[in-house]
Chain A
Amino acid sequence: MSGDFWFDALLGLLLLLLALATILARQLAAAVMLYVVFGLMLALAWARLGAADLALAEAAIGAGLTGALLFSALARQPKSLAPAQGAGRVERLPALLLCSAISAVLGWTLWQLPLQPQHSQLPAALEQLGSSGTEHLVTAVLLNFRAWDTLLELLVLLLALLGTRLVAAPEPAALQHWPLARQWSKRLLPLLVLVAFFVLWRGATAPGGAFQAGALLAAALVVLRLNGQLPALRFDFWWVRALILAGVLAFLLAGLLSLWLNWQPEQAAQWLRWPLPLAKGLILLIELSATLAIGLTLTLLVVGERKELGA
């Protein structure tokens, strides 16, 4: 038994324990904290499986952002952090049955899963990597081979924000600005911005990219906003809307530009086909705009549009 095996076994056990603890925690706040830890451990598990992109996404979005969203929802609860209302035995039984059924299906699926896929797109993708304008496979898939999916995903994020705005959420309980936190957020800001743009820039050659960078940027903005060090961000400000739409707009403009450049009257148009010499530039432009858009959208999702705090 090597050290690797013990590490993985421990990680797996820890994941199970954390999941159980999250479900069984009596305080909602404790459950959310455990959930964040669970997300971080899951990111570690992805990293152990060699899926660095997934690990980054899980850490940034699964643990970080979801945790922040859950806390922001908790802060809006009418009674602060009341213990979870325990459901009776009768209500628990159907839930237990449903969960067992789902687990059984998943387990059976896992059992059935073939070790070797019959066909894989990987060789084809690797072959075309050179003409995709980026050197990292995941980035090539997301922003070139299947760019339409990514454009639609940006719209999904936009719709999430538009939908959340329609729910008149109660204002969170007023916060007191802790001097230490204010100092800390000031020190943290340049570091977070630097790391965000590093992750974005690295996306061209190695794991990283707009979503992870956007989540980091959002973390910086949320911390600043919660400490009252940033003016209010409201959807009604035109520049906020412009930044939120930046990702989609850059995508559409790049698409229309390449439509125009590739235009041949006798042939059908080619949507989202980046011209090879421009591919790297276009992808970078889209990623940069998408990072800003994702950062601001996530910030608004977490802190909402509330009025100035503490003023």
Chain B
Amino acid sequence: MNFALAAVLLPLLAAVLALCWRRQAARLVWLSTLFSLLLALAALWQVVTFGPASMQLGGWQTGLAIRWQLNELSALLLLMTALIHSLVASYSLSQWRDAGLSADFWPLSALLQSALSSLFLSVDLFNWYVTLELLGLAAVALVLLSGKKALQAAMRYLLLSLAASLCYLLGVALLYGHYGWLDVPQLAVAISEEPVDHRLALWLITAGLMLKAALWPLHVWLPAAHAAAPAPVSALLSALVVKGPLFMLYMIWSQLAGPELAVTGSWLFLLTGSMALVVGGWSALRTPYAKVMVAYSTVAQLGYGLLALGLMLHLTDPAFTQALFIFVLAHALAKTSTFLAVGEMQLRLGGKRLSTFRGASQTMPLAMFAVAVAGGSLIGLPPSGGFVAKWQLLLPLWQHSQLWWLLPVILAGTLLSAAYIFRLVVLAFNRAKPVRPDFAPALLPQWLALLPALLVWMLAFASGSLLSWLGG
């Protein structure tokens, strides 16, 4: 637990120091992300060696205090947060002078990391609300770093995010008003002891979280906001920020919904997940802009998360929990790589449209390789992390013939993601009239964009331990 606590506090301290001492902000925050990566690794090691731990903040009894829970799942998500942040920080440090990234990026991203780490550790409904607010405001401020052109997207994001927060808060207030517990495991006990009709509260919470996580059909704000932001910010938003509410949805539905309500809820998640896969993939295929395509790909990919969540609730099979979180990890890595590489190529080739990437395999081979490799995981090619997640999703599905209609949906989603990735790759191999870079591409940022893509392909080697950690 000590390591996890340090992994939350270190970025917080770094953010405060970076605001005071602005000249060293970049280096301070970069160092803090590296150290918090080590701390998160140590926290995972601690959990695996000594078992799960929990901490009552302030040392008060459960009920008065906010509780943090460190288990394999939260340790893995903590590690994911620290890893993506350190990758993105390294990338930003390597090219921020070229990209004109504002110095405000550093304290904001450090605050984002601290808020997200705290969210993954907490099991308290109200503390989750505060971390959600923090997450939303940090994300909006980060989108605003793009300047005036991002203003409208950021404003829309802010307003919808606030509406979602209020929706969530109303649900929490209803639950707290009746049961008097904010601690999720305790609340689960209280609900199972004296079940009342708490559907309304749960639906309100679900609507709020689905809006925050940009799950179809509440995804309308995501493509504009993620595409308008600077590349490192888009990577953080797509890879991490939407995963926070998804994690909360998983925690709340798996613990607070009774068996009957869980089946009802599972239909919602299965249907919206299927729609997200198809509609998101179709929109990604149709858009002429590169970053909008990657952003729509996030909408589509979150459909797999929804499907895994729905199946877990429907069939109560732990294999789907594993699928959900391996998907979360794989998508985080793959999307970081895609956004960083696409951002880097846009910067050097000078254009937002997909047609800018003509001949990119010749002019910027490393970045293009990163997109293709990460795309392989998004499609689900073996042996990438995306493949492991999809395999874990499909394997138990064969045994449940009543949900056969999910197979063509997943197939359609896979084909659509293959189509939009190949659309980009085919353009990049069109070497007849390549778009020349505006200035010589630097190698280091391209390598840093490639790194997460390589990591996601190596995820398959770690899948044995991942499956056993997430098995519980």
Q: Which residues of A contact B (CB under 8 A)?
A: 105, 108-109, 112-114, 117-121, 124-125, 128, 144-149, 152-153, 155-156, 158-160, 162-163, 165-168, 238, 241-242, 245, 248-249, 252, 255, 268-274
Q: Is the CB of A125 within 8 A of B64?
A: yes
State which residues 181-240 of B face A: CB under 8 Å.
Answer: 181, 190, 194, 196-197, 200, 204
Q: Is the CB of B16 within 8 A of A148?
A: no
The SS class assigned to the A binding surface is helix
B426 contacts the other chain (CB 8 A):
no
Q: Is the CB of B16 within 8 A of A159?
A: no
In angstroms, how far is the closest chain A Cβ from the Cβ of B31? 18
In angstroms, how far is the closest chain B Cβ from the Cβ of A235? 9
Max chain B CB contacts within 10 Å: which of A144, A146, A238? A146
Interchain residue pairs A-B with the least CB separation, the first 4: A163-B141, A119-B180, A273-B59, A166-B144
Q: In the bound complex, how far is the Cα of B194 from the Cα of A233, in angstroms?
A: 56
The SS class assigned to the B binding surface is helix
Produce 1/0 per residue, B21-59, CB < 8 A to A. Answer: 000000000000000000000000000000001010111
Q: Is the CB of B63 within 8 A of A124?
A: yes
B111 contacts the other chain (CB 8 A):
yes
Task: Kindly list chain B residues whose C-beta atoms are within 8 Å of the C-beta of A113.
Answer: 174, 177
The one of A109, A149, A159 that contacts B141, using a Cβ cutoff of 8 Å = A159
| 6 A-B residue pairings within 8 Å (CB atoms) | A121-B181, A148-B57, A149-B130, A156-B134, A272-B57, A273-B58
In angstroms, how far is the closest chain A Cβ from the Cβ of B206? 14
Task: Kindly list chain B residues whose C-beta atoms are within 8 Å of the C-beta of A152.
Answer: 115, 118, 127, 130-131, 134
Q: Is the CB of A105 within 8 A of B127?
A: no
Q: In the bound complex, how far is the Cα of B104 from the Cα of A115, in angstroms?
A: 49
B interface bracket (residues with beta carbon within 8 Å of A): 35 or more
**Quick one: given A109-B174, A117-B177, A159-B134, are A124 and B151 in contact (CB under 8 Å)?**
no
The one of B66, B133, B141, B180 that contacts A121, using a Cβ cutoff of 8 Å = B180
Q: Is the CB of A269 within 8 A of B2?
A: yes
**Quick one: given A112-B200, A163-B140, are A146 and B104 in contact (CB under 8 Å)?**
no
B249 contacts the other chain (CB 8 A):
no
In angstroms, how far is the closest chain A Cβ from the Cβ of B159? 13
Q: In the bound complex, how far is the Cα of B151 from the Cα of A167, in angstroms?
A: 8
Q: Is the CB of B59 within 8 A of A145?
A: no
Task: Kindly list chain A residues whose C-beta atoms are within 8 Å of the C-beta of B126.
Answer: 146, 149
B410 contacts the other chain (CB 8 A):
no
**Quick one: given A118-B180, A149-B126, are A271 and B55 in contact (CB under 8 Å)?**
yes
B307 contacts the other chain (CB 8 A):
no
Q: Is the CB of B144 within 8 A of A163?
A: yes
Residue of B nearest to A140 (CB): B64
**Quick one: given A166-B145, A238-B20, A270-B59, are A117 and B179 in contact (CB under 8 Å)?**
yes
B137 contacts the other chain (CB 8 A):
yes
Q: Is the CB of B179 within 8 A of A144?
A: no
Q: Is the CB of A117 within 8 A of B180?
A: yes
Task: Kindly list chain A residues whose C-beta atoms are within 8 Å of the C-beta of B140.
Answer: 163
Q: In the bound complex, how far is the Cα of B17 from the Cα of A249, in angstroms?
A: 9
Task: Kindly list chain B residues whose C-beta atoms are within 8 Å of the C-beta of A245.
Answer: 16, 19-20
Q: Is the CB of A118 within 8 A of B194?
A: yes
Task: Kindly list chain A residues whose C-beta atoms are within 8 Å of the C-beta of B466.
Answer: none
